Amino acid sequence: MAAPRQSISRKILAVKLATTLAALLIAIAAMVAYDLRLYRQSWINDLNTQAELLGQMTAPALSFDDPKVARENLALLRYRPKILAAAIYDARGRLFATYRQPAGEFPRLPEGDGVRVEGNDLVVFKRIVSDREILGTVYLRADYELFDRLLGYLGIAAIVTVLAMGVAYLFSRWVHRVLVRPVLAITRIATEVSEKRNYSLRAEKLTNDELGLLAESFNGMLAEIESATRGLQASNREAEREVGERRRAEEEVLRLNAELETRVKQRTTELQATNAELEAFCYSVSHDLRAPLRSIDGFSQALLEDFPKEVPEEASRYLGRIRASTQRMGQLIEDLLNLSKVSRGELARRDVDVGELARQVVADVQSREPARKVEVSVWDGMQAYADPRLLRAALENLIGNAWKFSAKAEQPRIEIGLLRDGQEATFFVRDNGAGFDMRYANKLFGAFQRLHSANEYQGTGIGLATVQRIVHRHGGRIWADATPGKGAVFFFTLAGRSDAAPAAKQEAAA
């Protein structure tokens, strides 16, 4: 059963009212959104400024470990009643001073710079930085009145909407009387033409506006329908021919794609076999190079020990240089083998205590040089989802570099910690040693690249390349920041548990 026809007058009225309502709602929504956004941004800027001021006022207290001064600075917030709670954390993430205990506990660890909304509160974290060193973090929690403001706007919007819809309804009724009569006349002619196929009928032109032009156009359309029909039939035949040609072309493309996919699979298999042979060859060559190097080093040592009087002093010096060079080449081969090993095998990921691994590496380094006094700080609560064997190798290289390049510092210090920016965790290893010029930072992670003379600091230039490969296998990234003579800090990230599967697929594809 066909649905009953509805009057065009009612439809036009409905369209007018719907258009008015939509335009009104969009305008109100735009104004409310703009005002709320401006309010939110100004409130965020205000809290960030407050946190920055607190950080500058509290920096001396953190430097001299004076919580009392920090608490006095926080107490000034009583003149800001909308600030519900505040706290100062030191550089190790420990709670240093507080203001107004909130309903819940203070965050156990500070986060990176950022602002977020928690229910009806606005939370701000701001690091305290002095001379490029992070002294601590400011935490602020303030009352966020955005929802109360939104409810007020909604009430105003409801009143304005009711008034505007009433005015639109009265105006629409007058418009309908002017537009409906000419439209109904054209509708009657169109219905008769459709039922009787009588193309000699013509619509009466009742107005000189667009509706009158519509009647004229409708009459011209009736005169051209027959010729248009013949043209349409010809076009249909041409379209059928083009569809057949396109279908044949698509079948040819599918055949070529299938052939290309087969070739790609074959080529991939060949490349995998070639890479495996090349890796085995490199490993064999590196392994076989050790034997002649051991012979050269052993016979040079034998000459020096067995014939101390027969060997001239200059020859002894030459033999010493030969031994040093063979030992250096042996170390290069060992580093190359280690670099090759980190690229082989599957990752055995699991939850790892990064702080415990770092302490083990520090203990190993200190046992090799027990006479050196180095202040080492390892943060607590550092967790990662990684392969513990490869992660320890990366920490050995980074902490070993920090230990080596801080040898000439008056009070050497090494720090291993974790920074959080939202969901991303960034680990870092910082020292106050030799540092380097950031203009050459692009050379850091290349094999055999060195930014210091071998006479100053020993090394082969393979360690950071190994670290980069380990980090990339874990789906992370690594970068550094340094100043000559003031130390360096190396940052790296690792893919979390939720990102481990995509990272593994990417590694397999590579």
**DSSP of 408-458, one letter per residue?**
T-SS-EEEEEEEEETTEEEEEEEE-S----GGGGGGTTSTT--SS-TTTS-
Per-domain residue ranges for the chain? 8-150, 207-341, 347-509
Could you please report the per-residue DSSP string of 169-180? HHHHHHHHHHHH
Domain 347-509 has CATH 3.30.565.10: yes
Distance (Å, rounded) from C-alpha 448 to C-alpha 87? 47
pLDDT in tens, 411-430: 999 999 999 887 789 999 99
* Alpha carbon separation from 406 to 122, 431, 457, 488 (Å, rounded): 42, 7, 10, 10
Which tokens belong to 395? 């920490």
* Alpha carbon separation from 260 to 251, 254, 270 (Å, rounded): 14, 10, 15
Q: What is the mean pLDDT of residues 196-212?
A: 69
Which tokens belong to 39? 């309010």
Which tokens belong to 502? 């995509």
pLDDT in tens, 341-400: 656 667 788 999 999 999 999 999 898 888 888 899 999 989 999 988 888 888 988 998
CATH superfamily of 8-150: PAS domain (3.30.450.20)
pLDDT in tens, 114-123: 888 887 788 8
* Alpha carbon separation from 75 to 68, 99, 184, 389 (Å, rounded): 10, 6, 77, 49
What is the model's pLDDT at position 430? 93
Number of Cβ within 10 Å of residue 51's Cβ equals 22
pTM > 0.75: yes or no = no
